[in-house]
Amino acid sequence: MTIRVCLAGATGWAGSELARAIARVDDLTLAAAVSRTHAGRNLGDVLGEPRLNCPVYATISEALAHPCEVFVEYTKPDSAKFHILTALEHGAHVVVGTSGLTDDDFAEIDDVAKLQHRGVLACGNFALTVVLLQKFAEAAAKLIPQWEIIDYAHDDKVDAPSGTARELAARLSKVRHPEVTVAVDRTVGSREARGATLSGSQIHSVRLPGYVISAEIIFGMPDQRLTIRHDSGNSARPYVDGALLAIRKVSTLVGVHRGLDSVLEL
């Protein structure tokens, strides 16, 4: 049986790579797509991929008129929550690739997903190297009580910190809250220089030309330091396999699950 997918953001940098990948596999079908600019066209024509025969709509309500089992959100932070809640109300399971949603957003989404008995798999980063960074960091946090996170991205990324950094902080908070020697609110000088506190972790976001996406976590102990870092290149290729896996597995979940390892055996 094929899984019917509705993809919001199908013409974007990440979404178009995923749409092309869906066209290449037998067990997934793209039923409908969302993009305001290309509404009314066929996605196959827009992407130059003849194996895709899928209408593009300007709004999620129009797209969800086509039955689908899984909705994939790959647009922008300002539209993501509305799209996810609408898809859940239509009875779809949801895979979230879009970054920028807060812990409060996820709590609200979790309530609706549980009510609808549907799964939401939110992955701040679908890349396997990021999944491993998360797992290695969780192992380190069990033994090392102090760390800070740095996220690097291209200068025109609008949200900060990145979904990867947010997710990492949220996961580490379940291991323990990091200790700080000087409490951030006792900083002498500029408190902002210590970064943002999310889920207990200090996060510093660098936004500069020359970067694509990187995430780094530094664990510090007296006289020793451990740095774990992920870097991705210019293409959206690293995110494809993880997103396909998320689409295939999300229906086994109920409520919000964060991180691809929720459906991986590691």
Bridge-based pairing state of the strands 28-34 and 93-96: unpaired
Contact string (CB under 6 A) for ligand NAP, positions 155-174, x = contact: --------x-----------
DSSP string, 110-161: HHHHHHHT-EEEE-S---HHHHHHHHHHHHHHHH---EEEEEEE-TT--SSS
Question: CB under 6 A: which stretch of 18-26, 110-118, 120-128, 201-209 binds ligand NAP?
Answer: 120-128
Q: Phi/psi zone of residue 233: left (φ > 0), alpha (ψ -120 to 50 degrees), beta?
A: beta
- Contact between 178 and ligand NAP by CB under 6 A: the answer reads no
Among 6, 22, 92, 97, binds ligand NAP (CB under 6 A): 97
Rounded to whole angstroms, the Cα distance separating 13 from 74 reads: 9
Among 6, 15, 69, 88, binds ligand NAP (CB under 6 A): 15
Q: Which is nearer to ligand NAP, 124 or 195 (CB)?
A: 124
Position of minimal CB gap to ligand NAP: 12
Strands (E), the chain: 3-8, 28-34, 56-57, 70-73, 93-96, 119-122, 147-153, 196-198, 201-207, 213-221, 224-232, 255-258
Q: Which is nearer to ligand NAP, 38 or 171 (CB)?
A: 38
For residue 38, how far is the Cα from the chain centroid? 24
What does the block give as tokens for 23?
Answer: 């066209």
Q: How far apart are CB 203 and ligand NAP at their closest, in Å? A: 15
- Contact between 99 and ligand NAP by CB under 6 A: the answer reads yes
Q: How far apart are CB 17 and ligand NAP at their closest, in Å? A: 8
**Helix, coil or strand: residue 100:** coil
Name which of residues 45 to 64 contact ligand NAP (CB under 6 A): none
Rounded to whole angstroms, the Cα distance separating 81 from 202 reads: 25
- Contact between 6 and ligand NAP by CB under 6 A: the answer reads no
Rounded to whole angstroms, the Cα distance separating 207 from 48 reads: 32
**Helix, coil or strand: residue 226:** strand
- Contact between 42 and ligand NAP by CB under 6 A: the answer reads no
- Contact between 114 and ligand NAP by CB under 6 A: the answer reads no
Q: Which is nearer to ligand NAP, 97 or 178 (CB)?
A: 97
- Contact between 11 and ligand NAP by CB under 6 A: the answer reads yes
Among 2, 13, 155, 231, binds ligand NAP (CB under 6 A): 13
227 bridge partner residues: 218
The contact set with ligand NAP (CB under 6 A) reads 8-15, 34-38, 74-77, 79, 97-100, 123-126, 163, 239
